Copies of this chain bind each other. A is one copy, B any other.
């Protein structure tokens, strides 16, 4: 009887409802870690891309490696791109990191066109591995006011990059940019990460590039506030 019932009842393979393959931009920061864990629930195979672009906080790249290993991605690439030779930002070490709290306007930590460059690189790889989606952990709520973290930018890049995508131009479905945490406040991102089991001890947010997080740059301030809001201790150590 049981055998018949099993034959009649179609087997539901949750995998069928998942996206087959996706590229994830994994910096090693908190946002990209939560985004990667979301992607893992939505996709079968993940390809993680980390860009070593001359950031002061190279430690995040080590975190990205740990996260990729922990999650079991199909492949993790770390691509070197010396952006400091081309552009200016306090993140690249050719300007000072501000530590006096969030200010009006776009701060000096902004790296001009960083997300456009990273998305174009991710699409290039996505085309080769046959990925249907590119995940990016941009966030436009508790953030530093970077213009390339806003939904209108992400949607416009999706349009532009698909116009240059072979599979889209040849009549295929194109590649979709997914920015799952773009509209979440930071405390909701931390909460979501906790539910998904993101190992926050292997994430790095501080801009300053010291051995321990400085606690006073914009990124540290926003992160600590979010953990405080959630009533959970941030597992990383702070300088002060």
Count residues on chain A whose CB falls below 8 Å from chain B CBs: 45
In the complex, A113 has a CB within 8 A of chain B: yes
Contact residues of A between 105 and 163, Cβ < 8 Å to B? 105-106, 110-117, 120-121, 123-125, 127-128, 147-148, 150, 152-153, 156-157, 159-161, 163
In the complex, A16 has a CB within 8 A of chain B: no
- Residue of B with least CB distance to A145: B169
Per the bound structure, the CA–CA distance linking A151 and B180 in Å amounts to 31
Contact B153 A163 (CB under 8 A): yes
Residues on B with C-beta less than 8 A from A121 are: 86, 113, 117
- Residue of B with least CB distance to A157: B160
Question: CB within 8 A of A112: which of B110, B123, B163?
Answer: B123
- Residue of B with least CB distance to A86: B125
Interface of A is mostly: helix
In the complex, A8 has a CB within 8 A of chain B: no
| Interchain nearest-CB distance for A220 vs B (Å) | 23
Residues on B with C-beta less than 8 A from A80 are: 82
In the complex, A165 has a CB within 8 A of chain B: yes
With a 10 A CB-CB cut-off, give which of A117, A120, A148, A161 has the most chain B CB atoms. Answer: A120
Contact B153 A113 (CB under 8 A): no
In the complex, A164 has a CB within 8 A of chain B: yes
- Residue of B with least CB distance to A148: B164
Residues on B with C-beta less than 8 A from A116 are: 116, 120, 123, 160-161, 164
Contact A127 B87 (CB under 8 A): yes
With a 10 A CB-CB cut-off, give which of A83, A112, A114, A148 has the most chain B CB atoms. Answer: A112
In the complex, A79 has a CB within 8 A of chain B: yes
Question: CB within 8 A of A82: which of B79, B105, B124, B165?
Answer: B79
In the assembled complex, 22 residue pairs joining A and B whose CB atoms fall closer than 8 Å, in A order, are A77-B86, A80-B82, A86-B124, A86-B125, A86-B128, A106-B166, A111-B124, A112-B128, A113-B124, A113-B165, A115-B164, A116-B116, A116-B123, A117-B117, A117-B121, A147-B168, A147-B169, A148-B163, A150-B163, A156-B156, A156-B160, A157-B160
Listed in ascending order, the chain A residues whose CB lies under 8 Å from chain B are 49, 77, 79-83, 85-88, 105-106, 110-117, 120-121, 123-125, 127-128, 147-148, 150, 152-153, 156-157, 159-161, 163-166, 168-170
